[in-house]
A and B are shown apart, each in its own frame.
Chain A
Amino acid sequence: MSLRLGHRRFRDQLSDYADGQLSPRLATRFERHLASCADCRKELGELRRMLELLHDLPAAEPGPGSVDALLRRMAETEARPRRWLSAWGAPVAAAAAGLAALLLVQDVSVSIGLPGSAVRPEARSASLVAAEARALPRRPAPPAPSTAAMLGRRAEFAPATPGAPSGASSSGRSALAACIGSRDTRDCIRYHWMLDLAGRDVPAFLEVFESLPEAARPRLAGDLADLARGSGSATAIADHLRASRDPRAATLAARFAAVGRR
Protein backbone atom coordinates (compact mmCIF):
# COMPACT_ATOMS: atom_id res chain seq x y z
CA MET A 1 0.00 0.00 0.00
CA SER A 2 1.38 3.36 -0.93
CA LEU A 3 1.99 5.90 1.77
CA ARG A 4 -0.61 8.23 0.23
CA LEU A 5 -3.30 5.59 0.21
CA GLY A 6 -2.58 4.82 3.82
CA HIS A 7 -2.86 8.49 4.58
CA ARG A 8 -6.29 8.68 3.04
CA ARG A 9 -7.53 5.73 5.07
CA PHE A 10 -6.22 7.25 8.29
CA ARG A 11 -7.58 10.63 7.40
CA ASP A 12 -11.05 9.12 7.30
CA GLN A 13 -10.50 7.88 10.86
CA LEU A 14 -9.56 11.29 12.25
CA SER A 15 -13.03 12.16 13.42
CA ASP A 16 -13.53 8.79 15.12
CA TYR A 17 -10.11 9.02 16.70
CA ALA A 18 -10.85 12.48 18.08
CA ASP A 19 -14.06 11.08 19.59
CA GLY A 20 -12.25 8.13 21.12
CA GLN A 21 -14.36 5.82 18.98
CA LEU A 22 -11.56 3.73 17.48
CA SER A 23 -10.82 0.35 19.01
CA PRO A 24 -7.51 0.24 20.92
CA ARG A 25 -5.94 -1.72 18.07
CA LEU A 26 -7.02 0.81 15.41
CA ALA A 27 -6.13 3.71 17.66
CA THR A 28 -2.59 2.36 18.06
CA ARG A 29 -2.22 2.06 14.29
CA PHE A 30 -3.64 5.49 13.85
CA GLU A 31 -1.17 6.95 16.29
CA ARG A 32 1.69 5.23 14.51
CA HIS A 33 0.58 6.92 11.29
CA LEU A 34 0.13 10.21 13.09
CA ALA A 35 3.73 10.14 14.26
CA SER A 36 4.88 10.06 10.66
CA CYS A 37 2.27 12.26 8.98
CA ALA A 38 2.35 16.00 9.46
CA ASP A 39 -0.85 16.46 7.45
CA CYS A 40 -2.86 14.25 9.73
CA ARG A 41 -1.36 15.90 12.81
CA LYS A 42 -2.30 19.28 11.47
CA GLU A 43 -5.81 18.19 10.64
CA LEU A 44 -6.30 16.52 14.00
CA GLY A 45 -5.17 19.67 15.75
CA GLU A 46 -7.59 21.75 13.72
CA LEU A 47 -10.41 19.33 14.35
CA ARG A 48 -9.79 19.38 18.09
CA ARG A 49 -9.69 23.15 18.23
CA MET A 50 -12.87 23.32 16.21
CA LEU A 51 -14.57 20.91 18.60
CA GLU A 52 -13.43 23.06 21.50
CA LEU A 53 -15.08 26.05 19.87
CA LEU A 54 -18.26 24.05 19.42
CA HIS A 55 -18.30 22.76 22.97
CA ASP A 56 -17.70 26.28 24.18
CA LEU A 57 -21.09 27.37 22.88
CA PRO A 58 -23.30 27.56 25.95
CA ALA A 59 -26.65 25.81 26.00
CA ALA A 60 -29.38 28.31 25.26
CA GLU A 61 -31.98 28.52 27.99
CA PRO A 62 -35.50 29.75 27.32
CA GLY A 63 -36.43 32.98 29.04
CA PRO A 64 -38.37 32.86 32.29
CA GLY A 65 -42.07 32.51 31.68
CA SER A 66 -41.53 31.37 28.14
CA VAL A 67 -43.20 28.00 28.63
CA ASP A 68 -46.14 29.60 30.43
CA ALA A 69 -46.62 32.07 27.60
CA LEU A 70 -46.51 29.26 25.08
CA LEU A 71 -49.06 27.19 26.97
CA ARG A 72 -51.31 30.20 27.41
CA ARG A 73 -51.31 30.89 23.69
CA MET A 74 -52.12 27.29 23.00
CA ALA A 75 -54.90 27.21 25.60
CA GLU A 76 -56.49 30.41 24.29
CA THR A 77 -56.75 28.96 20.83
CA GLU A 78 -57.98 25.70 22.20
CA ALA A 79 -61.02 27.45 23.63
CA ARG A 80 -62.18 28.70 20.24
CA PRO A 81 -65.03 27.10 18.32
CA ARG A 82 -63.96 24.37 16.00
CA ARG A 83 -66.42 25.04 13.18
CA TRP A 84 -66.38 22.82 10.18
CA LEU A 85 -63.07 21.30 11.06
CA SER A 86 -64.80 19.12 13.57
CA ALA A 87 -66.11 17.28 10.55
CA TRP A 88 -62.79 15.50 10.63
CA GLY A 89 -64.16 13.61 13.54
CA ALA A 90 -61.02 12.99 15.45
CA PRO A 91 -61.38 15.21 18.49
CA VAL A 92 -57.66 15.54 18.99
CA ALA A 93 -57.07 16.53 15.43
CA ALA A 94 -59.89 19.05 15.50
CA ALA A 95 -58.79 20.56 18.77
CA ALA A 96 -55.25 20.77 17.52
CA ALA A 97 -56.27 22.30 14.25
CA GLY A 98 -58.09 24.98 16.21
CA LEU A 99 -54.94 25.36 18.23
CA ALA A 100 -52.77 25.66 15.21
CA ALA A 101 -55.03 28.23 13.66
CA LEU A 102 -54.29 31.16 15.89
CA LEU A 103 -50.68 31.84 15.25
CA LEU A 104 -50.77 30.80 11.65
CA VAL A 105 -53.02 33.65 10.66
CA GLN A 106 -50.11 35.99 10.35
CA ASP A 107 -48.05 33.36 8.64
CA VAL A 108 -50.51 32.75 5.84
CA SER A 109 -50.57 36.42 4.95
CA VAL A 110 -46.81 36.44 4.74
CA SER A 111 -46.41 33.26 2.79
CA ILE A 112 -49.17 33.75 0.28
CA GLY A 113 -47.91 37.27 -0.11
CA LEU A 114 -51.00 39.08 1.05
CA PRO A 115 -50.77 42.81 1.50
CA GLY A 116 -51.27 43.97 5.06
CA SER A 117 -51.29 41.74 8.06
CA ALA A 118 -54.45 42.88 9.79
CA VAL A 119 -56.66 39.83 9.95
CA ARG A 120 -60.25 39.81 11.10
CA PRO A 121 -61.29 37.14 13.56
CA GLU A 122 -63.36 35.49 10.84
CA ALA A 123 -60.16 35.01 8.88
CA ARG A 124 -59.14 32.37 11.33
CA SER A 125 -60.19 29.54 9.09
CA ALA A 126 -57.90 30.80 6.37
CA SER A 127 -55.07 30.02 8.65
CA LEU A 128 -56.19 26.45 8.58
CA VAL A 129 -54.75 26.30 5.14
CA ALA A 130 -51.46 27.00 6.77
CA ALA A 131 -52.23 24.57 9.54
CA GLU A 132 -52.87 21.89 6.98
CA ALA A 133 -49.69 22.73 5.16
CA ARG A 134 -47.77 22.49 8.35
CA ALA A 135 -49.37 19.19 9.07
CA LEU A 136 -47.15 17.72 6.42
CA PRO A 137 -43.75 16.80 7.68
CA ARG A 138 -41.24 18.91 5.84
CA ARG A 139 -37.75 17.80 5.18
CA PRO A 140 -34.53 19.44 4.10
CA ALA A 141 -34.34 17.63 0.78
CA PRO A 142 -34.16 19.18 -2.69
CA PRO A 143 -37.57 19.83 -4.29
CA ALA A 144 -38.14 16.67 -6.28
CA PRO A 145 -37.47 14.03 -3.63
CA SER A 146 -39.06 16.09 -0.91
CA THR A 147 -42.28 16.27 -2.88
CA ALA A 148 -42.41 12.54 -3.09
CA ALA A 149 -41.54 12.22 0.54
CA MET A 150 -44.22 14.65 1.63
CA LEU A 151 -46.90 13.13 -0.48
CA GLY A 152 -45.91 9.67 0.52
CA ARG A 153 -46.03 10.59 4.17
CA ARG A 154 -49.22 12.49 4.08
CA ALA A 155 -51.35 9.44 4.61
CA GLU A 156 -49.33 8.53 7.64
CA PHE A 157 -49.72 11.85 9.37
CA ALA A 158 -52.73 13.73 8.10
CA PRO A 159 -56.15 13.18 9.59
CA ALA A 160 -58.47 11.18 7.41
CA THR A 161 -60.63 13.43 5.27
CA PRO A 162 -64.05 12.41 4.08
CA GLY A 163 -64.51 11.95 0.37
CA ALA A 164 -61.89 11.27 -2.23
CA PRO A 165 -59.42 14.15 -2.25
CA SER A 166 -58.93 15.41 -5.75
CA GLY A 167 -55.29 16.07 -4.97
CA ALA A 168 -54.66 12.39 -4.50
CA SER A 169 -54.74 11.75 -8.24
CA SER A 170 -51.43 11.26 -9.96
CA SER A 171 -51.99 14.32 -12.15
CA GLY A 172 -52.75 16.32 -9.02
CA ARG A 173 -49.49 15.13 -7.59
CA SER A 174 -47.46 16.01 -10.63
CA ALA A 175 -49.06 19.45 -10.77
CA LEU A 176 -48.15 19.90 -7.14
CA ALA A 177 -44.64 18.71 -7.85
CA ALA A 178 -44.35 21.21 -10.69
CA CYS A 179 -45.64 23.97 -8.45
CA ILE A 180 -43.13 23.11 -5.76
CA GLY A 181 -40.42 23.23 -8.37
CA SER A 182 -41.21 26.84 -9.11
CA ARG A 183 -42.70 28.31 -5.96
CA ASP A 184 -42.56 28.24 -2.19
CA THR A 185 -43.38 24.72 -1.08
CA ARG A 186 -45.77 25.76 1.63
CA ASP A 187 -47.75 27.96 -0.73
CA CYS A 188 -48.09 25.07 -3.13
CA ILE A 189 -49.33 22.76 -0.43
CA ARG A 190 -51.82 25.38 0.66
CA TYR A 191 -53.10 25.80 -2.90
CA HIS A 192 -53.28 22.08 -3.28
CA TRP A 193 -55.25 21.77 -0.10
CA MET A 194 -57.65 24.53 -1.14
CA LEU A 195 -58.27 22.87 -4.48
CA ASP A 196 -58.95 19.66 -2.67
CA LEU A 197 -61.47 21.51 -0.53
CA ALA A 198 -63.07 23.17 -3.57
CA GLY A 199 -63.61 19.73 -5.03
CA ARG A 200 -65.55 18.37 -2.09
CA ASP A 201 -66.92 21.17 0.09
CA VAL A 202 -67.71 24.40 -1.74
CA PRO A 203 -69.05 26.35 1.26
CA ALA A 204 -65.95 25.53 3.27
CA PHE A 205 -63.75 26.48 0.34
CA LEU A 206 -65.55 29.79 -0.06
CA GLU A 207 -65.27 30.48 3.62
CA VAL A 208 -61.52 30.05 3.44
CA PHE A 209 -61.24 32.01 0.22
CA GLU A 210 -63.32 34.94 1.43
CA SER A 211 -61.59 35.11 4.73
CA LEU A 212 -58.57 36.46 2.89
CA PRO A 213 -58.35 40.22 2.33
CA GLU A 214 -60.19 41.24 -0.80
CA ALA A 215 -57.11 42.63 -2.47
CA ALA A 216 -55.36 39.30 -2.25
CA ARG A 217 -58.15 37.21 -3.70
CA PRO A 218 -57.59 37.74 -7.43
CA ARG A 219 -53.99 36.62 -7.20
CA LEU A 220 -54.91 33.62 -5.11
CA ALA A 221 -57.69 32.74 -7.56
CA GLY A 222 -55.20 32.97 -10.41
CA ASP A 223 -52.71 30.72 -8.67
CA LEU A 224 -55.39 28.20 -7.80
CA ALA A 225 -56.68 28.17 -11.34
CA ASP A 226 -53.18 27.63 -12.71
CA LEU A 227 -52.56 24.73 -10.42
CA ALA A 228 -55.97 23.24 -11.24
CA ARG A 229 -55.20 23.52 -14.94
CA GLY A 230 -51.93 21.71 -14.36
CA SER A 231 -53.71 18.83 -12.72
CA GLY A 232 -56.49 18.77 -15.32
CA SER A 233 -59.14 19.47 -12.70
CA ALA A 234 -60.02 23.07 -13.60
CA THR A 235 -63.17 22.25 -15.53
CA ALA A 236 -64.37 19.80 -12.91
CA ILE A 237 -63.87 22.35 -10.16
CA ALA A 238 -65.64 25.01 -12.22
CA ASP A 239 -68.61 22.67 -12.62
CA HIS A 240 -68.58 21.84 -8.97
CA LEU A 241 -68.54 25.51 -8.00
CA ARG A 242 -71.42 26.27 -10.36
CA ALA A 243 -73.41 23.32 -9.13
CA SER A 244 -73.28 24.70 -5.62
CA ARG A 245 -75.51 27.55 -6.84
CA ASP A 246 -73.74 29.77 -4.38
CA PRO A 247 -73.69 33.27 -5.89
CA ARG A 248 -70.27 33.89 -4.33
CA ALA A 249 -68.86 31.05 -6.39
CA ALA A 250 -69.86 32.42 -9.77
CA THR A 251 -66.79 34.54 -10.46
CA LEU A 252 -64.44 31.84 -9.33
CA ALA A 253 -66.26 29.25 -11.39
CA ALA A 254 -65.83 31.44 -14.47
CA ARG A 255 -62.15 31.76 -13.79
CA PHE A 256 -61.63 28.02 -13.44
CA ALA A 257 -63.74 27.39 -16.52
CA ALA A 258 -61.63 29.85 -18.51
CA VAL A 259 -58.34 28.15 -17.74
CA GLY A 260 -59.99 24.75 -18.22
CA ARG A 261 -60.70 25.66 -21.84
CA ARG A 262 -57.11 26.62 -22.56
Chain B
Amino acid sequence: MSEPILDRPRPVAARRDAALPEPQAQDPDLELVDRWRDGDESAFASLVRRHHGRTFGLLVRMLGSREEAEDALQETFLNLHRHGHRFRREARFGTFVYRVAMNAALNRRRSLGRRRAQLERLASRQAAGDDLPQSPRGPEAGVVQGELRARVQREIQALSPNLRGPLVLYDLEGLPYGEIARVLELPEGTVKSRIHRARRALRERLIDLVSESDDESEGAGQ
Protein backbone atom coordinates (compact mmCIF):
# COMPACT_ATOMS: atom_id res chain seq x y z
CA MET B 1 0.00 0.00 0.00
CA SER B 2 1.39 3.38 -0.91
CA GLU B 3 2.47 5.80 1.72
CA PRO B 4 0.12 8.73 1.00
CA ILE B 5 -2.91 6.56 1.56
CA LEU B 6 -1.96 5.67 5.09
CA ASP B 7 -1.00 9.22 5.86
CA ARG B 8 -4.39 9.89 7.35
CA PRO B 9 -5.20 13.60 7.33
CA ARG B 10 -5.51 15.34 10.63
CA PRO B 11 -8.54 17.47 11.35
CA VAL B 12 -7.96 21.05 10.40
CA ALA B 13 -10.48 22.30 12.93
CA ALA B 14 -7.84 23.78 15.20
CA ARG B 15 -6.55 26.05 12.45
CA ARG B 16 -10.07 27.03 11.50
CA ASP B 17 -11.17 27.87 15.00
CA ALA B 18 -8.13 30.03 15.41
CA ALA B 19 -9.22 32.17 12.48
CA LEU B 20 -12.31 33.41 14.27
CA PRO B 21 -13.50 32.89 17.81
CA GLU B 22 -16.64 30.83 18.31
CA PRO B 23 -19.86 32.83 18.25
CA GLN B 24 -20.82 31.89 21.77
CA ALA B 25 -17.57 33.40 22.99
CA GLN B 26 -17.72 37.06 23.90
CA ASP B 27 -17.68 39.16 20.76
CA PRO B 28 -14.50 41.25 21.06
CA ASP B 29 -16.10 44.01 18.98
CA LEU B 30 -19.18 44.55 21.10
CA GLU B 31 -17.75 47.32 23.21
CA LEU B 32 -16.76 49.30 20.13
CA VAL B 33 -20.09 48.61 18.47
CA ASP B 34 -21.91 49.92 21.54
CA ARG B 35 -19.78 53.04 21.67
CA TRP B 36 -20.39 53.65 17.99
CA ARG B 37 -24.12 53.24 18.45
CA ASP B 38 -23.94 55.82 21.20
CA GLY B 39 -22.59 58.24 18.64
CA ASP B 40 -18.83 57.78 19.01
CA GLU B 41 -17.57 57.82 15.43
CA SER B 42 -14.03 57.08 16.52
CA ALA B 43 -15.28 53.70 17.68
CA PHE B 44 -16.39 53.00 14.12
CA ALA B 45 -12.96 54.00 12.88
CA SER B 46 -11.47 51.51 15.32
CA LEU B 47 -13.74 48.82 13.97
CA VAL B 48 -12.61 49.66 10.45
CA ARG B 49 -8.97 49.39 11.50
CA ARG B 50 -9.60 46.11 13.20
CA HIS B 51 -11.36 44.44 10.28
CA HIS B 52 -9.73 46.21 7.37
CA GLY B 53 -6.84 43.84 6.68
CA ARG B 54 -8.71 40.59 7.01
CA THR B 55 -11.59 41.87 4.90
CA PHE B 56 -9.21 43.12 2.25
CA GLY B 57 -7.63 39.65 2.07
CA LEU B 58 -11.04 38.05 1.62
CA LEU B 59 -11.96 40.50 -1.12
CA VAL B 60 -8.74 39.95 -3.04
CA ARG B 61 -9.44 36.22 -3.05
CA MET B 62 -13.02 36.75 -4.11
CA LEU B 63 -12.27 39.30 -6.81
CA GLY B 64 -8.80 38.33 -7.93
CA SER B 65 -7.41 41.82 -7.96
CA ARG B 66 -6.22 44.31 -5.40
CA GLU B 67 -7.80 47.17 -7.29
CA GLU B 68 -11.22 45.53 -7.28
CA ALA B 69 -10.75 44.59 -3.67
CA GLU B 70 -10.01 48.19 -2.68
CA ASP B 71 -13.25 49.31 -4.30
CA ALA B 72 -15.26 46.56 -2.71
CA LEU B 73 -13.62 47.24 0.64
CA GLN B 74 -14.75 50.83 0.52
CA GLU B 75 -18.23 49.76 -0.42
CA THR B 76 -18.21 47.28 2.44
CA PHE B 77 -17.37 49.83 5.10
CA LEU B 78 -19.75 52.39 3.69
CA ASN B 79 -22.55 49.86 3.81
CA LEU B 80 -21.51 48.88 7.29
CA HIS B 81 -21.51 52.46 8.42
CA ARG B 82 -24.94 52.78 7.02
CA HIS B 83 -26.43 49.53 8.28
CA GLY B 84 -24.18 48.51 11.08
CA HIS B 85 -26.51 50.06 13.62
CA ARG B 86 -28.99 47.44 12.57
CA PHE B 87 -26.55 44.70 13.33
CA ARG B 88 -28.24 42.19 15.58
CA ARG B 89 -26.27 40.14 18.00
CA GLU B 90 -27.26 36.74 16.72
CA ALA B 91 -23.84 36.71 15.08
CA ARG B 92 -20.55 38.31 15.92
CA PHE B 93 -19.80 41.67 14.39
CA GLY B 94 -16.89 40.13 12.50
CA THR B 95 -19.33 37.73 10.85
CA PHE B 96 -21.53 40.65 9.90
CA VAL B 97 -18.53 42.40 8.33
CA TYR B 98 -17.78 39.33 6.26
CA ARG B 99 -21.40 39.06 5.19
CA VAL B 100 -21.45 42.66 3.97
CA ALA B 101 -18.09 42.15 2.25
CA MET B 102 -19.28 39.00 0.49
CA ASN B 103 -22.35 40.85 -0.74
CA ALA B 104 -20.14 43.65 -2.01
CA ALA B 105 -17.86 41.17 -3.74
CA LEU B 106 -20.56 39.05 -5.30
CA ASN B 107 -22.45 42.00 -6.65
CA ARG B 108 -19.58 43.87 -8.15
CA ARG B 109 -19.64 44.17 -11.88
CA ARG B 110 -22.57 41.93 -12.20
CA SER B 111 -23.67 42.73 -15.67
CA LEU B 112 -22.18 40.50 -18.29
CA GLY B 113 -20.30 43.05 -20.33
CA ARG B 114 -18.60 44.63 -17.40
CA ARG B 115 -17.83 41.25 -15.94
CA ARG B 116 -16.20 40.15 -19.14
CA ALA B 117 -14.18 43.34 -19.38
CA GLN B 118 -13.09 42.86 -15.81
CA LEU B 119 -11.95 39.32 -16.45
CA GLU B 120 -9.98 40.46 -19.45
CA ARG B 121 -8.31 43.22 -17.52
CA LEU B 122 -7.64 40.79 -14.72
CA ALA B 123 -6.11 38.25 -17.03
CA SER B 124 -3.86 40.80 -18.70
CA ARG B 125 -2.76 42.33 -15.41
CA GLN B 126 -2.07 38.95 -13.98
CA ALA B 127 -0.19 37.95 -17.08
CA ALA B 128 1.90 41.04 -16.48
CA GLY B 129 2.38 39.89 -12.91
CA ASP B 130 0.84 43.02 -11.43
CA ASP B 131 -1.74 41.59 -9.20
CA LEU B 132 -0.43 38.81 -7.12
CA PRO B 133 2.32 38.99 -4.58
CA GLN B 134 5.67 37.89 -5.85
CA SER B 135 7.61 35.17 -4.20
CA PRO B 136 10.48 36.24 -1.99
CA ARG B 137 12.67 33.67 -3.75
CA GLY B 138 14.90 34.28 -6.75
CA PRO B 139 13.40 36.06 -9.73
CA GLU B 140 13.12 32.97 -11.89
CA ALA B 141 11.32 30.81 -9.34
CA GLY B 142 9.27 33.84 -8.45
CA VAL B 143 8.02 34.22 -11.99
CA VAL B 144 7.01 30.58 -12.23
CA GLN B 145 5.35 30.62 -8.87
CA GLY B 146 3.66 33.93 -9.65
CA GLU B 147 2.25 32.49 -12.85
CA LEU B 148 1.04 29.40 -11.04
CA ARG B 149 -0.70 31.45 -8.38
CA ALA B 150 -2.21 33.73 -10.98
CA ARG B 151 -3.58 30.70 -12.77
CA VAL B 152 -5.08 29.30 -9.56
CA GLN B 153 -6.59 32.66 -8.70
CA ARG B 154 -8.04 32.95 -12.20
CA GLU B 155 -9.68 29.56 -11.96
CA ILE B 156 -11.17 30.51 -8.60
CA GLN B 157 -12.62 33.58 -10.31
CA ALA B 158 -14.13 31.38 -12.96
CA LEU B 159 -16.17 29.38 -10.45
CA SER B 160 -19.81 30.32 -10.17
CA PRO B 161 -20.43 32.77 -7.31
CA ASN B 162 -22.43 30.15 -5.43
CA LEU B 163 -19.39 27.93 -5.27
CA ARG B 164 -16.67 30.54 -5.10
CA GLY B 165 -17.86 32.08 -1.83
CA PRO B 166 -17.95 28.86 0.18
CA LEU B 167 -14.63 27.67 -1.25
CA VAL B 168 -12.82 30.93 -0.50
CA LEU B 169 -14.22 31.10 3.02
CA TYR B 170 -13.36 27.48 3.78
CA ASP B 171 -10.16 26.68 1.98
CA LEU B 172 -8.55 30.09 1.89
CA GLU B 173 -9.97 31.95 4.87
CA GLY B 174 -10.09 28.84 7.03
CA LEU B 175 -13.54 29.44 8.49
CA PRO B 176 -15.47 26.50 9.96
CA TYR B 177 -18.70 25.36 8.30
CA GLY B 178 -20.91 26.94 10.95
CA GLU B 179 -19.29 30.32 10.55
CA ILE B 180 -19.59 30.18 6.76
CA ALA B 181 -23.24 29.28 7.15
CA ARG B 182 -23.73 32.42 9.22
CA VAL B 183 -21.78 34.62 6.80
CA LEU B 184 -23.66 33.39 3.75
CA GLU B 185 -26.96 32.88 5.55
CA LEU B 186 -27.21 29.34 4.24
CA PRO B 187 -27.86 26.04 6.02
CA GLU B 188 -24.69 24.30 7.09
CA GLY B 189 -25.47 21.28 4.92
CA THR B 190 -25.72 23.51 1.87
CA VAL B 191 -22.41 25.12 2.70
CA LYS B 192 -20.76 21.74 3.00
CA SER B 193 -22.08 20.39 -0.26
CA ARG B 194 -21.14 23.59 -2.06
CA ILE B 195 -17.60 23.37 -0.77
CA HIS B 196 -17.37 19.83 -2.06
CA ARG B 197 -18.81 20.79 -5.40
CA ALA B 198 -16.52 23.80 -5.61
CA ARG B 199 -13.47 21.68 -4.91
CA ARG B 200 -14.49 19.20 -7.54
CA ALA B 201 -15.07 21.98 -10.08
CA LEU B 202 -11.76 23.63 -9.28
CA ARG B 203 -9.90 20.32 -9.44
CA GLU B 204 -11.27 19.81 -12.92
CA ARG B 205 -10.25 23.30 -13.95
CA LEU B 206 -6.75 22.71 -12.67
CA ILE B 207 -6.53 19.13 -13.84
CA ASP B 208 -3.40 19.75 -15.91
CA LEU B 209 -1.63 20.90 -12.77
CA VAL B 210 -2.88 18.30 -10.32
CA SER B 211 -3.10 15.03 -12.23
CA GLU B 212 -0.31 12.55 -11.93
CA SER B 213 1.06 10.38 -14.68
CA ASP B 214 -0.54 6.94 -14.84
CA ASP B 215 2.20 4.93 -13.17
CA GLU B 216 2.27 7.26 -10.19
CA SER B 217 -1.47 7.07 -9.69
CA GLU B 218 -1.32 3.30 -9.58
CA GLY B 219 0.15 3.45 -6.13
CA ALA B 220 3.83 3.97 -6.72
CA GLY B 221 3.83 6.61 -4.03
CA GLN B 222 5.75 9.83 -4.16
State the A residues within 8 Å of B (CB): 12, 15, 17-21, 27, 31, 34-35, 38, 41-51, 53-63, 66-67, 70-71, 73-74, 78, 90-93, 95-97, 99-100, 103, 131, 134-135, 137-140, 156-157, 184-186
Q: Shortest beta-carbon distance, A98 to chain B, in Å?
A: 10
Please, how many angstroms separate the alpha-carbon atoms of A21 and B197 in the complex?
16
Q: Shortest beta-carbon distance, B146 to chain A, in Å?
A: 11
Residue pair A49, B210 in contact (C-beta under 8 Å): yes
Hey, which chain B residues are within 8 Å of A27, CB to CB?
Answer: 8
Q: Shortest beta-carbon distance, B26 to chain A, in Å?
A: 24
Residue pair B9, A17 in contact (C-beta under 8 Å): yes
Q: Shortest beta-carbon distance, B134 to chain A, in Å?
A: 10
- Given contact pairs A44-B4, A74-B78, A185-B107, a sample of 14 additional A-B residue pairs in the complex whose CB atoms are under 8 Å apart: A19-B9, A41-B2, A46-B210, A48-B4, A50-B203, A55-B171, A60-B57, A62-B56, A66-B56, A74-B77, A93-B82, A103-B74, A135-B79, A138-B110
The answer to whether residues A99 and B81 also contact, given A42-B217, A49-B210 and a CB cut-off of 8 A, is yes
Hey, which chain A residues are within 8 Å of B218, CB to CB?
Answer: 38
Residue pair B171, A58 in contact (C-beta under 8 Å): no
Please, how many angstroms separate the alpha-carbon atoms of A93 and B39 in the complex?
12
Q: Which of A51, A54, A134 has the most CB of B within 10 A?
A: A54
Which of B27-35, B41-49, B120-128 faces chain A? B41-49
Chain A residue at minimal CB-CB distance from B80:
A96
Hey, which chain B residues are within 8 Å of A53, CB to CB?
Answer: 148, 152, 206, 209-210
12 contacts between A and B (CB under 8 A): A38-B217, A41-B217, A49-B209, A56-B148, A66-B56, A70-B74, A90-B85, A96-B78, A134-B79, A135-B79, A138-B110, A140-B106
Q: Shortest beta-carbon distance, A155 to chain B, in Å?
A: 11
**CB within 8 Å of A: which B40-73 residues:** 41, 45, 48-49, 52-53, 56-57, 60-61, 66, 69-70, 73
Residue pair B161, A59 in contact (C-beta under 8 Å): no
Please, how many angstroms separate the alpha-carbon atoms of A139 and B165 in the complex?
11
Please, how many angstroms separate the alpha-carbon atoms of A256 and B219 in the complex?
74
Hey, which chain A residues are within 8 Å of B70, CB to CB?
Answer: 62, 66
Please, how many angstroms separate the alpha-carbon atoms of A46 and B204 in the complex?
9
The answer to whether residues A134 and B148 also contact, given A62-B53, A78-B41, A157-B86 and a CB cut-off of 8 A, is no
Hey, which chain B residues are within 8 Å of A35, CB to CB?
Answer: 1, 5
Q: Shortest beta-carbon distance, B151 to chain A, in Å?
A: 9
Interface size on B, residues (CB 8 A): 68
Chain B residue at minimal CB-CB distance from A30:
B8
Residue pair B69, A71 in contact (C-beta under 8 Å): no
Chain B residue at minimal CB-CB distance from A142:
B162
Residue pair B45, A45 in contact (C-beta under 8 Å): no
Number of A-B residue pairs having CB atoms within 8 Å of each other in the complex: 171
Hey, which chain B residues are within 8 Å of A140, CB to CB?
Answer: 106-107, 161-162, 165
Residue pair A138, B83 in contact (C-beta under 8 Å): no
What does the 1/0 interface line of B141-183 toward A look like (CB < 8 Å)? 0000000110011000000011001000001100000000000
Chain A residue at minimal CB-CB distance from B69:
A60
Chain A residue at minimal CB-CB distance from B150:
A57
Interface residue? B103 (CB, 8 A): yes
Please, how many angstroms separate the alpha-carbon atoms of A42 and B165 in the complex?
26
Residue pair A54, B171 in contact (C-beta under 8 Å): yes
Please, how many angstroms separate the alpha-carbon atoms of A15 and B163 in the complex?
15
The answer to whether residues A31 and B66 also contact, given A20-B12, A138-B107 and a CB cut-off of 8 A, is no
Residue pair B195, A15 in contact (C-beta under 8 Å): yes
Please, how many angstroms separate the alpha-carbon atoms of A78 and B1 in the complex?
66
| The one of A38, A58, A73, A92 that contacts B133, using a Cβ cutoff of 8 Å | A58
Q: Shortest beta-carbon distance, A196 to chain B, in Å?
A: 18
Please, how many angstroms separate the alpha-carbon atoms of A73 and B81 in the complex?
13
Residue pair B152, A67 in contact (C-beta under 8 Å): no
6 tightest Cβ-Cβ pairs between the two chains A and B:
A140-B161, A96-B82, A60-B60, A138-B107, A20-B9, A49-B210
Residue pair B199, A57 in contact (C-beta under 8 Å): no
Please, how many angstroms separate the alpha-carbon atoms of A66 and B70 in the complex?
9
Hey, which chain A residues are within 8 Å of B24, CB to CB?
Answer: none
Hey, which chain B residues are within 8 Å of A96, CB to CB?
Answer: 78, 81-83
Please, how many angstroms separate the alpha-carbon atoms of A55 and B86 in the complex?
35
Hey, which chain A residues are within 8 Å of B85, CB to CB?
Answer: 90, 92-93
